Structure 1
Amino acid sequence: MAEPFVYRATEENGGLFTMDQWMDKEPRLTAGFTSRLGGVSSGAFDSLNLGLHVDDETADVIENRTRLAAALRVPFDACTYAEQVHGKEIQVVTREYRGAGRTSREEALQNKDGFVTNEPGIILHALFADCVPLLFFDPVRKAAGLAHAGWKGTVLQIAKATVETMSAAYGSKPRDILAAIGPSIGACCYEVDDGVISRVDKIAAELPVYVEEPFYVSKGNGKYMLNLQQLNRQIMIKAGILPSNIECTGLCTSCRTELFYSHRKENGKTGRMAAWIGLRE
């Protein structure tokens, strides 16, 4: 299967991963995932760090966010950010929230890890450095969604919560929704313990019996290699999204630190990429 997040390297922005399949079908749509390349941050945050919460220079982060907006051909005041907390709360983003958090944490959408909108001119952003970006687009209702799924958000089934919110807010039918699972730490690199696996097992019992890959593999010492992408995919299917409408990356943030920040690989001292989605005005 072809990689759905297509890398575009340019002199202006270093490189972005874009959802070309979706954007070809809906020309106003912009959706994708940033690399770590093409910004002004230095040291551990070299160079396109988009997180204001990681002790990078605030002015550098704002410059990086401004550069991203320019690369996406959207106004900077359309770019909307949140303070993420590894939960499952979903924000319906209307015009009044447009541009929240783009220059300060205090003005961001607070305590939210998922976002939906159907208003053109609002570009949703969420921040990542190993956790799983989940992108949603309903081409019928012209509604977009974005969620941040670490292991906590995954076992809280934030993917299902996002679909349910799109259905309630916009009348989206799950069978119409396109979904994508973006660059994140893979089962090749994501070691967890019994505490995490016990939570995974609880929700795995509710998921479809047939899965293409196991959710985790035991290393035999109370440690396991966890496949968060596959787990989120099955939660999406449970929520009613058609398997054929789910795109899944083959990119691991921990394996590819020349392209991505990895909280696990870089021992917590690193920057943040952004996933984004929205319709241009």
Structure 2
Amino acid sequence: MIEPVLHLYDIGEALRLETTDGFAKFGNDNIVAFSTTRHGGRSKEQYGELNINPYCGDEATAICQNRAALCEKLAIDDNHLVLPHQVHGTKCLNVDTTLLHSAPNERQRILEGYDALMTNIKGVCIGVSTADCIPVLVYDPKRHVTAAIHAGWRGTVARIVEKTLLAMKAKYGTEASEAVAVIGPGISLRNFEVGQEVYDAFADAGFDMGKIAKKFPCKADPKKEKWHIDLPRCNKSQLTHAGMKEACVLCSGICTYDNADDFFSARRLGINSGRIYTGIMIKQ
């Protein structure tokens, strides 16, 4: 029997901090937010054990078994577990009943090329895949809307988090000041070594480099130094810049590179390895 091991997030922790304006009354009993770990699945070797991503080279049979086990744990049907084919872009897809009722091939076509999802449908788990990139979950308790965002360095530079919040506002009326967010496991400042071109991309995009970048000895040649970027901080700053209260941003603090035994890390395991699924669902 497969028993997926999940890292759970207490969104209510943020909600309870906001008690002066009635924000806390929405509670968190109807929300589940999580990241999968590497434990409790059928995949082997660098995909082991719990990988549900079909785009990274894992065996289809293992993926199906892992996905079925996760759906069972969440008490949902398979078609209510949604995962896009990400391309390091900034497009956000609204998950609606049309997608949920689509045939598998049509569903795959619809989900192609998106790096963020949003929905207001109860009992539907939306999520993104990462293995060093930053997963961000957003919950609007006032309008009962969720979002899941894949923020790699390219998406971060292109401000995918801010663009997703704008998409939520346009579709559902979400105000960032009334929402909460989770920043899931991803590579830390100390381990995200980048080339000058990546540093320049962040600088050109207007990020405060004094706050998000630092030089460390080069891993390949400790006598030299290379830039490192703080991706979690970059994405947190986008959330707060959009209007979200800092106390309403929960940071997991988990570095995938340092914790590759428990969470997939492409820099540790290679690009042909498993992926973390970070998801959020409004329960029925």
Q: Same fold (TM over 0.5)?
A: yes
For structure 1, which segment, 102-111 or 40-49, has the greater mean C-alpha deviation from structure 2 after superposition? 102-111
Partner of 1:217: 214
Shift of 1:236: 1.0
1:214 is aligned with what amino acid? K
Shift of 1:43: 2.0
Alignment partners' CA distance in 2, 1:251 and 1:102: 34
Alignment partners' CA distance in 2, 1:259 and 1:99: 34
Partner of 2:279: 276
Task: From the two aligned structures, give the one with the greater helix fraction.
Answer: 2
Compare CA radii of gyration and give the structure with the larger one: 2
Shift of 1:204: 3.6
Shift of 1:66: 1.0
Across the aligned residues of Structure 1 and Structure 2, the Cα RMSD in angstroms comes to: 2.4
Does structure 1 residue 159 correspond to structure 2 residue 126?
A: no
Partner of 1:8: none
Shift of 1:45: 1.0
Q: 1:239 aligns with which of 224, 242, 245?
A: 242
2:43 is aligned with what amino acid? S
Q: Is the 8 A contact 2:11 2:28 kept in 1?
A: no
**Any stretches of 5+ residues in structure 2 without a counterpart?**
16-26, 218-223
2:271 is aligned with what amino acid? G
Alignment partners' CA distance in 2, 1:151 and 1:216: 13
How many positions carry a matched residue from both structures?
266
Q: Normalising by the residue count of structure 1, what TM-score does the alignment of the two structures yield?
A: 0.88
Alignment partners' CA distance in 1, 2:236 and 2:164: 13
Alpha-carbon deviations, 1:92-140, whole Å to 9, x = none?
A: 1111112779899845601000111111122102111111000000000
Q: Normalising by the residue count of structure 2, what TM-score does the alignment of the two structures yield?
A: 0.87
Shift of 1:214: 2.4
**Any stretches of 5+ residues in structure 1 without a counterpart?**
1-10
Alignment partners' CA distance in 1, 2:175 and 2:106: 35
Q: Is the 8 A contact 2:11 2:180 kept in 1?
A: no
Aligned to 1:32, the other structure's residue is in SS state: strand
Q: 2:141 aligns with which of 136, 139, 142?
A: 139
Alignment partners' CA distance in 2, 1:96 and 1:107: 13
Q: Is the 8 A contact 1:80 1:99 kept in 2?
A: no
Partner of 1:83: 85
Partner of 2:11: 21
Partner of 2:113: 111
Q: Is the 8 A contact 1:50 1:274 kept in 2?
A: yes
Does structure 1 residue 258 correspond to structure 2 residue 255?
A: no
Alignment partners' CA distance in 1, 2:106 and 2:72: 19
Alignment partners' CA distance in 1, 2:12 and 2:262: 23
